[in-house]
Amino acid sequence: MNQIQENSHSTIPSEVLSRAKKEIGEDDERKDATLKIIKEWLKKQPHLSCSQDDRFFLMYARGCKYSIEKIKRKIDLCLTMRALLPEIFSGWDAMSPNIQNALKYGIMLPLPGFDHLGRKVFVYRMGCFPPEKVKVEDLEKASGMVAEVLAYEEPVIFITGVVVIVDFDGYTLSHLTHRPLSFMKKQAKYFQDAGPASPKSINFIRTPTAFNAVYNLVMGIFNDKMKQRVKVHGSDFESLYKEVPKALLPSDYGGQGPSFVQLTDSWKKKVEKNREFLLQQQKYVADESKRQGKPRTTEELFGIEGSFRKLTVD
């Protein structure tokens, strides 16, 4: 496969770049012009501390189909929400005991390769951990770190999209109470409104009775476009195979890919390898005291119910 160098760290296949030109109008001239405009705009936003890595800006440029105003809104919202969610986006030290403990469960696992439509598939395992042995905040920090590494290593996902499998195997009432609905609401809001990658398909599998509360919450938050992309397969793996090629799936699902144990070990090592990068990434947030105009609040963005305490992070 022909590879075109995006920068010193990542490559995008030439056929995917051709697809980007056709679907979102990307070419070198538009890309360079957009990067210049966004970087100039950021200089006038004293409240935003932002990575200057072109890959960050291109995530949003591609995810927003090169709409300049939408890119600005999304970057601002991303950094604002990250500042208001320290329970997810701070304490990103891969070698700290709490993160080491969380990583060993493999709650969020991107799968190797891409599906038949060029999309990245990842599995989010809601019941794979003992609730009494790990904090929900640590699990979400670890998941956020995995997602951050994936985003920078595989920029193709912002052109082709992602597919999410949410696996409820082992999910109990203890897991539901371990992760308050207010927490899940915040996660879903960030995922839908501030994340640069738009999921093309969200697949719920192995769903127990306790799943209903989660499903109702998520569907109450998602916009109409996202709702149409949700599929509930239950325990019907043949139904899942119609959405995600069997060959790509982990051996745990009857597929030909690596097992969950192998994937967990692989991603734990990858996060550890990127420790310094992740420590830097956690610093990129909004400072509401410097915002020109009215500061944005947790209540405004997430609703007043279930507001979280601010966590002390060392």
Q: Tens-digit pLDDT profile for the chain (314 aa)?
A: 333 334 434 578 899 999 999 999 999 999 999 999 999 999 999 999 999 999 999 999 999 999 999 999 999 999 999 999 999 999 999 999 999 999 999 999 999 999 999 999 999 999 999 999 999 999 999 999 999 999 999 999 999 999 999 999 999 889 988 888 788 888 888 888 898 887 899 999 999 887 887 888 788 888 888 899 999 999 999 999 999 999 999 999 999 999 999 999 999 999 999 999 999 999 999 999 999 988 898 888 887 544 333 333 33
Say which amino acid occupies 243: E
One domain, residues 266 and 218: yes
- Amino acid (1-letter code) at residue 69: E
Same domain, 72 and 109: no
- Do 134 and 168 have their domain in common? yes
Q: Specify the length of the chain in residues.
A: 314
Same domain, 266 and 139: yes
Q: Which backbone phi and psi does 205 adopt, to 5 degrees?
A: -130, 160
Question: Using alpha carbons only, what angle is made at residue 121 by residues 67 and 278, rounded to the nearest 5 degrees?
Answer: 70
pLDDT of residue 204: 95
Give the pTM. Answer: 0.90
Q: Could you tell me if residue 295 is left (phi over 0), alpha (psi between -120 and 50 degrees) or otherwise beta? A: beta
Residue 312 domain flag: no
DSSP-based three-state secondary structure for 203: strand
Task: Work out how many domains the chain is built from and give that number.
Answer: 2
Helix or strand holding residue 97 (H, E): helix 97-103
* Structural domain contains residue 169: yes
Strand partners, 12: 4
Residue 285: which CATH number?
A: 1.10.8
- Which pLDDT score, from 0 to 100, does residue 304 have? 52
Whether residues 250 and 289 share a domain: the answer is no
Full domain range(s) for residue 187: 102-275
* Co-location of 251 and 290 in the same domain: no
Q: What is the pLDDT of residue 197?
A: 81
The CA-based diameter of the chain, rounded to the nearest angstrom, is 54
Q: What is the pLDDT of residue 91?
A: 96
